[in-house]
Amino acid sequence: MHLGITEIIIIALIVLLLFGGKKIPELMKGLGKGVKSFKDGMKEGDEEPKKEDEEIRKS
């Protein structure tokens, strides 16, 4: 299932009609914050087991 240029343009037009031009930047800003929060959460999740492993090795 491949999306061509025509399909992407149609989807963009539908989104523009549903949300309006003023609301789209707010939606993208919220999406960006959500992605950043997710990445920060993944980094925190990766660091914690490493610290615990080092403490276990020191004991």
Position 55 scores a pLDDT of: 60
CA–CA dist 8, 36 (Å, integer): 25
CA 30 to CA 33: how far, in whole Å?
5
pLDDT at 57 over 70: no
pTM: 0.48
- CB contact at 8 A, 24 and 16: yes
**What integer pLDDT is reported at residue 52 of this predicted model?**
54
Listed by start position, the domains of the chain span: 21-59
